[in-house]
Structure 1
Amino acid sequence: VIVSPLEQFEVVELVGIRLWGLDVSLTNASIMMCVSAGLIVGLSMMVGREGGKLIPGRWQSVMEGVYKMVVGMVYESIGKEGGKYVGYVYTVMVLILVMNVLGLIPYSYTVTSHLVVTLVLAIGVWVGKLVVGIKRHGWRLFGMFIPGGTPFGMVPFFVFVEVIGFVIPMISLAVRLFANMMAGHILLKVLFGFAWSMMMAGGILYVGHYVPLIVLYLLFGLETAVALIQAYVFGLLTCIYIGDMESGGH
C-alpha cells in the first residue's frame, strides 16, 4: 500500500460465489464484517458466562462500562421512553466501534471507510426514526413539513426545504463516519510511505526518516481516539434523532 494510499480501500474478491444470478462473493470487506460480528457475539457469550462471578473479569468490566454509558446516553437524550431503544443503540454503537478498531490493525480492512456501509447504517437509523415518529404521532407527523401560516403558493417550496432538512441528517451521519475513517487512514499511509522512502534512500535521509515515523506513531494514537469517538458520536446522534421523533420535532 506504499505505492497508493487509496489501495487499502479496494474491495477484493476472495471467493467468487454466484447464487440465482446474484453475486454473493466473499470479499475482504464482507469477511471483516463477519469477524466484527463474530467478535461481538463471542465477547458477549464470554461475558455472559462470567456474569455470575462476584468479581467481574476484565472484558465483563469493559462491556458493562460501555453498556452503562449507552444506557445513560439513551435516557438523557430520549427520556423515560428510552429503555426500549437501548438494545438497538448499544448494538449499532458497539458494531461500529469494533469495525473501526479492527481497521487499525495492519493488513486488515476498515469497513467503515466505505460510504455504502456507513450509508446503510445511517439509513437504518433514519428509517427507525421515521417509524418511531409515525408510531408516536401518526400521520400528523408529516404536518411538520408545512409550517403553520404558510401561504398556499409557498407550500411546495417549504415542503421541499423541510424534506431536504429531514433527509440531510441521514447523509451527514454517514459521511461524517466515512470521511473521518478514510481521511485518517490515508494520512497514516502517506506518512508511512514517506518514512519508508526516506529510509530506502539511505544517507542523511535515513536519519531524517525518524521524523515522519514519530509523527506516524502520534497520529496512530489520534486515529485510535477518532475510531472510539466516531462510534460514540454515531450512537449519540442516533439517540438525539429518536428523541426528536418522540417529542414530535425534526
Structure 2
Amino acid sequence: MLAAYFDQFNVIRLVTIQAFHEDWLITFTNSSLMMVLAIFMFWLLLKGDDLVPRRWQAVMELIYLNLRSVVRDNLGASGDKFFPFVISLFIFIAMLNTLGLFPYVFTPTVHIVITFGLSFSILIGVTIMGVFTFKWNFLSMFMPSGAPLLLAPLLVYIETISYLSRAISLGLRLAANLTAGHLLFAIMSGFTFNMLANGLIFTSLFPMLIMVFVTILEMAVAVIQAYVFSLLTTIYLGDTIALH
C-alpha cells in the first residue's frame, strides 16, 4: 500500500528535447503536464461575459468579489495592481489541488520543491519591490520601532530569520496539508479494500462512509489551502506598500 501511495510522487519524463546545445535538454514531465492543464482549465473557466451569468460564471464572479475584497482589506486601493496576480495564484493552486483528488493524477502541490519554489519566488518578488519602493528604508522593518539600541543586533537577527521563514512556512503548510490528506486516502482505501477482499461487505460500509466524508473534507481543504496561500501572499505584499 505504501509503495502504491508513493508512486504518485514519481516525476516521470514524458518528452525530452535537445535545445541549442548538446548538453541542454528541455524535459516535459507529468508535473509540467498538470501545470499546463491547470492553466488551460483556468483560461476556460474565466471565459464568460453573459449579462445574466450562468452557474459557473456566477461561481467565478463570487470568487472574484471575495478575493478583491481580501486585496482591498489588506492592501487598500493602491493594492489593486496586485489583484490579477492574487486571483491567478488562487485559481492555479486550487485547480492543481482539486485535480489531485482524482485517481492516478499527479499532484504537483504535494511536492515541497514546487510549493517552496512558489513561496520563495513570492518572497524574492516582495523584497525586490520593497527595495525599489523604499530604497534603504526597507531595511528598517527588521528593527522594531521603539526598541532599545542595546537589543538591536538580537532583534535584527530575529526579524531577519522571521522574514526568511515566510518562504518555508508558506510552502510547507500547503504541501503538508495536501500530503496528509492523500495519505489518509491511501490508508482508508487500503483498509476498505482488504475488508472487501476478505468478504466483510457489511462491515466495510462504515469505512466507506468515512471515505465519503474524507472526500468532502479534502475538496474543502483543496480550496481552503489555496485561499490561505493567496491570503498570506496578499499580507506579505503589504510590505511593498507600507513599512510596518
TM-score using structure 2 length: 0.90
Aligned to 1:59: 56
Within a 5 Å distance, the mapping from 1:62-211 to structure 2 comes to 62-147=59-144, 148-151=147-150, 156-202=153-199, 205-211=200-206
Within a 5 Å distance, the mapping from 1:11-50 to structure 2 comes to 11-19=11-19, 20=21, 21-44=23-46, 46-47=47-48
Q: Say which SS state the counterpart of residue 202 (structure 2) adopts.
A: helix
C-alpha RMSD of matched pairs (Å)? 1.9
Shift of 1:62: 1.8
Shift of 1:129: 1.7
Aligned to 1:228: 223
Separation of aligned partners in 2, 1:135 and 1:79: 20
Residues 93-132 of structure 1 deviation map (CA, whole Å, 9 limit, x = unaligned): 1111111111111211111111111111112221222133
Shift of 1:222: 0.3
Which residue type is aligned with residue 11 of structure 1?
A: V
Give identity over the alignment, percent: 35
Aligned to 2:5: 5
After superposing the two structures, state which structure 1 stretch, 220-229 or 13-22, moved more. 13-22
Separation of aligned partners in 2, 1:155 and 1:76: 32
Residues 10-32 of structure 1 deviation map (CA, whole Å, 9 limit, x = unaligned): 21222333433234322221111
Separation of aligned partners in 1, 2:186 and 2:123: 33
Separation of aligned partners in 1, 2:44 and 2:12: 26
Relative distance call for 1:213 and 1:23 in structure 2 (3 A) is: farther
Residues 201-234 of structure 1 deviation map (CA, whole Å, 9 limit, x = unaligned): 22xx333222221111110100000001001111
Which residue type is aligned with residue 103 of structure 1?
A: G
Shift of 1:4: 3.2
Shift of 1:155: 5.1
Separation of aligned partners in 1, 2:18 and 2:202: 52
Q: Please, which runs of 5 or more residues in structure 1 have no aligned partner?
A: none
Separation of aligned partners in 2, 1:69 and 1:114: 28
Shift of 1:33: 0.6
Separation of aligned partners in 2, 1:54 and 1:175: 41
Shift of 1:145: 2.6
Relative distance call for 1:200 and 1:22 in structure 2 (3 A) is: farther
Separation of aligned partners in 1, 2:188 and 2:129: 45
Shift of 1:183: 0.9
| Cα pair 1:118 1:174 within 8 Å, conserved | yes
Which residue type is aligned with residue 106 of structure 2?
A: Y
Shift of 1:191: 0.7
Shift of 1:2: 7.1
Q: How many residues align?
A: 240
Instruction: Identify the match of residue 214 of structure 2 among 210, 219, 224.
Output: 219
Shift of 1:175: 0.3
Q: Say which SS state the counterpart of residue 161 (structure 2) adopts.
A: helix
TM-score using structure 1 length: 0.88
